[in-house]
Amino acid sequence: MRRVAMVGAGMTRFGEHFDLGIKDLVPMAVSEAVASVDKGFDRADVEAAWFGELVSTDGFAAGILADSCGLLDIPVSRLENACATGNDAVRHGVLGVASGFYDVVLVVGADKVRETSARSTFWDWMGMTRDMAWDFPLGLVAPANFALHVSRYLHESPATREHLAMVAVKNHRHGVTNPKAQLRFEITVEQVLDAPMVVEPFGLYDCTPQSDGAAATLLVAEDVVDRYTDHPVWVRGVGLGLDRVMHAHKPDMTTFPATVKAAKQAYAMAGVGPDDIDVAECHDCFTGIELMNYEDLGFCGRFDAYKLIEAGETSVGGRLPVNPSGGLKAKGHPPGATGIAQCTELFEQLRGDACNQVEGAQVALAHNIGGPTAVSAVTILSNQPA
Amino acid sequence: MIEAIGTYLPPWGATTARDAGPDEDAVTLAVAAGVQVTGNPDRTPVRRVVLVSRDLPLLEGGNAAALLAGLGLAADVEVREQLGGAPAALEAVADAASGTLVIGSDVVGRAGAAAALCSTRGGEITTTGRAQRSLPVVTRDASGAVTDYADPRLLRELGVAVSLERAGVTEKVAAVAGLGSKEAAALGDDVVPTLPTLGASAPLFAVAALVERHDRGAVLAVEQATVAVAALGEGAIDVARDEPPAQPIPTGSHTPGPDISISLAAYERAFDDKLRLEAARCTTCGTLAYPRRHRCLGCGSEAPSDTVPLPRDAEIYTTATIHVPVPGLTTPYTVVLAELGDSGVRLLVHLTGTPPGTVAIGDRGRLVFRRVAMRSGVPDYGYGFLPTLQVPSEDEEVAA
């Protein structure tokens, strides 16, 4: 198996792009990834591409990538794996290069959540992730899906709604300096706690916004990396974990087994452990989920997550900064793009040119959890080859 | 003869005039009343169900299977859906063959339902008179459009009074179903029972009330200018009531939205398990699967499974209350993941019978048959979590 390097990464600003379609956002992200390659990049070098998109916008997804980016002569596949789509698309790109099948591949992710009226989006997206007979009629909207976990988590752990609020405050603070972020303003714990309730225990500021956006990255084999850069970021580990689909079949809802499995695979492949991670981008679609992620990713012991957020250890400047980009919470969450945008942020962190730079970062972790909390993808990146 | 009567009133509205909850209709109300008398092995088995109502949900058919599933009766039990009010229900009871469960179910106006199990034992009931006349002071068509001639005196004098005469009712009666309490009092002897409903369930509520106060005699049922009268004789009748205290119906906020879609293929596949609350049990390792699945959760066996009923007592494992507007729904609403008895099975359901957001993890209750959603015109039945009523203990009452 060959080592795989990330030599370029880029993304559009995340936000409500009413003025841009998916056919605009995708080529914009790809061009930014191409432009980020130190020694220049000829897109004719791309031998295959994967396109991560949750919900089709304007039709046939793979064709939209090929057509809008001028990549009509290579294989392009669409990949959908719920909110883990982004990091799973990276994983597929890695498989293609590590196997020796391709030397240079492109991995793109995008979604346009705000392309349909908020009114129909609710049910369209719910229909995609719920059993039609059993869960769909309950109106189990996305925040409720996660709130069922966090309610139980708050019941069993010492964490409180204040700790959830601290996650929002931290990620908003990080997002202020990120020009790609959707929500660039600071908030206070009081504002979070006083905000209108969405789904208990989540108020408005506990939730990710609805976003449009695209992100792209270029993966190459170690054999050809010198052509593109002297400062590659190595994809050291990838993992994908699954879990029972229906909430009724998850015995312990205070943890995400999908994350635990994905992380275990990625750590083993990378030859590192949680203690080696210098910076992480994890899936904070709702504040409480970030706390649960700390535990499932091994950043702290069971039910100890509140201590990390309380002590500021996961803020930039702390021991293990999490979501320096602002995370899904402040940067935004176009699901297909999210995981690849996390890798874009970490690509910059590991090359020392991130907007909220974590000094001396060498090993970084990106994480998604999605579906009805039944799928997780983890990617471990490093500026050290091994 | 009437062997037993079961009643149900929704917990919403005023004590004397209940409103059906948003997850209730004529079928769920009928089930709630019916289960008070079915499921008891000492009772006469039910061979036929007569559902009398003016508020049947599926006018093109489909109510009967849901009713039988909710009542826990076999799918081949005969069901007669009868459009009618108080006189129709009274006569259905009086005419019933042994093994008939007559249920009167009322949604519009005062909501409630009552069921009478008729057999060869219990209290005798015999029709003694009837008059069927047309004086449609209030009309309602199939689309639900109502017109009201708005002349109560005309109805009283040209309608009820004339019909009573034609039906041969010359003396005061023991109970009056279908009229307001003032008009009922004028026709009754002593103090006629005050009834919670005015439609098909009313005569059954009347019988239950007479039984409970050891009174027997003539029961009069009225619907506009149609009347029926029956004599209730001696003989024991068991009465079981599910009539929780009334509370104001929560005022949610409805968000307009598109029709919530349904897959009728998925609906039909899930129908029996969902409405009968039955799980599949693996014949190899005994693991329960709910909903039914091709491959066993426990051992991976793909052999055919048994069907077993699930316990209905439940405890909340986790819960979430949705406040954000959801198109097509009324918010807030609460979902709970309920753990069913000691079966190890959990089920995600709506909270029912209590305002949203008023339960917590660890609360206990039971699953009750409800309409989970309306989806593109189809009532999607299943179960809701009804928390156990918090009755203050004697100590607390003393302290208070």
**Are A295 and A304 contacting, i.e. CB atoms less than 8 angstroms apart?**
yes
Structure confidence at residue A246 (pLDDT): 94
| pLDDT of A102 over the 90 cut | yes
Please state, in angstroms and rounded to a whole number, the distance separating the CA atoms of residues B189 and A172.
74
Banded model confidence at residue B395, pLDDT cuts 50, 70, 90 = low
| pLDDT of B399 over the 70 cut | no
Which residues of B lie closer than 8 Å to A, measured between beta carbons? 255, 257-258, 260-263, 266-267, 269-270, 274, 290-291, 297, 317-324, 326-329, 333, 335, 337, 345-350, 357, 361, 372-373, 375, 380, 382
Average pLDDT, stretch B273-284?
97
Banded model confidence at residue A372, pLDDT cuts 50, 70, 90 = confident
Please state, in angstroms and rounded to a whole number, the distance separating the CA atoms of residues B2 and B118.
4
- Specify the amino acid at residue B369: F
| pLDDT of B391 over the 70 cut | no
Average pLDDT, stretch B279-293?
96
Burial A163-175 (b: 16+ CB within 10 A, else e): bbbbbbbbbbbbb
Q: Mean pLDDT over all residues of chain A? A: 96
| pLDDT of A128 over the 70 cut | no
pLDDT digits (tens, 9 = 90+) for A350-365: 999 999 999 999 999 9
Query: With an 8 Å Cβ cutoff, are B321 and A200 in contact?
Result: yes
**Are A107 and A217 contacting, i.e. CB atoms less than 8 angstroms apart?**
yes
Average pLDDT, stretch A297-304?
98
Query: With an 8 Å Cβ cutoff, are B260 and A147 in contact?
Result: no
Residue appearing with tokens 């841009």:
A20
Structure confidence at residue B398 (pLDDT): 46
Structure confidence at residue B189 (pLDDT): 83
Predicted TM-score of the model (pTM): 0.95
Average pLDDT, stretch A19-36?
98
pLDDT digits (tens, 9 = 90+) for B155-204: 999 999 999 999 999 999 999 999 999 999 999 987 899 999 999 999 99
Structure confidence at residue A136 (pLDDT): 87
Average pLDDT, stretch B80-105?
98
Banded model confidence at residue A130, pLDDT cuts 50, 70, 90 = confident
Nearest CB to A132: which of B263, B329, B348?
A: B263
Average pLDDT, stretch A273-293?
98
- CA separation, residue B269 to residues A55, B272, B287, B302 (Å): 27, 8, 21, 18
Structure confidence at residue B397 (pLDDT): 47
Q: Which residues in chain B have Cβ-Cβ distances shorter than 8 Å to A155?
A: 318, 361
Q: Mean pLDDT over all residues of chain B? A: 94
Active site residues of A: 83, 333
Beta bridge partners of A205: none
Q: Which residues in chain B have Cβ-Cβ distances shorter than 8 Å to A123?
A: 257-258, 260-261, 327-328
Tell me, what DSSP letter sits at residue A248?
G
Structure confidence at residue A132 (pLDDT): 87
Query: With an 8 Å Cβ cutoff, are B318 and A148 in contact?
Result: yes
Beta bridge partners of A9: A217
Pick from B347, B361, B373: nearest CA to A200: B361
Burial A73-111 (b: 16+ CB within 10 A, else e): ebebebbbbbbbbbbbbbbbbbbbbbeeebbbbbbbbbb
Pick from A303, A289, A119, A92: nearest CA to A199: A289
| pLDDT of B97 over the 60 cut | yes
Structure confidence at residue A116 (pLDDT): 83
Percent of chain A with pLDDT over 70: 99
> For an interface test with B, which of A145, A148, A207, A286 has the most B Cβ atoms less than 10 Å from its Cβ?
A148
Q: Which of residues 100-159 of A touch B (CB under 8 A)?
A: 119-120, 122-123, 127, 131-135, 137-141, 143-144, 147-149, 151-152, 155
Average pLDDT, stretch A102-131?
84
**Are B335 and A140 contacting, i.e. CB atoms less than 8 angstroms apart?**
yes
Please state, in angstroms and rounded to a whole number, the distance separating the CA atoms of residues A322 and A313.
9
| pLDDT of A331 over the 80 cut | yes
Q: How many residues does chain B have?
A: 400
Using the Cβ of A288 and the Cβ atoms of chain B, whether some distance falls under 8 Å is answered with no
Structure confidence at residue B392 (pLDDT): 54
Please state, in angstroms and rounded to a whole number, the distance separating the CA atoms of residues A283 and B307.
40
A324-333, B250-259, B377-386: which has the minimum mean pLDDT? Answer: B250-259
pLDDT digits (tens, 9 = 90+) for B206-258: 999 999 999 999 999 999 999 999 999 999 999 999 999 999 999 999 998 88
3 state DSSP class of B181: helix
Average pLDDT, stretch A233-257?
97
Q: What is the ipTM of this complex?
A: 0.95
pLDDT digits (tens, 9 = 90+) for A182-240: 999 999 999 999 999 999 999 999 999 999 999 999 999 999 999 999 999 999 999 99
Banded model confidence at residue A382, pLDDT cuts 50, 70, 90 = very high
Please name the helix (run of DSSP H) or strand (run of DSSP E) that holds residue A144, with its range, or none. helix A142-156
> For an interface test with A, which of B290, B326, B334, B361 has the most A Cβ atoms less than 10 Å from its Cβ?
B326
Nearest CB to B348: which of A133, A197, A247?
A: A247
Query: With an 8 Å Cβ cutoff, are B323 and A119 in contact?
Result: no
> For an interface test with B, which of A125, A132, A205, A244 has the most B Cβ atoms less than 10 Å from its Cβ?
A132
**Are B9 and B18 contacting, i.e. CB atoms less than 8 angstroms apart?**
yes
Structure confidence at residue A173 (pLDDT): 98
Structure confidence at residue B400 (pLDDT): 39
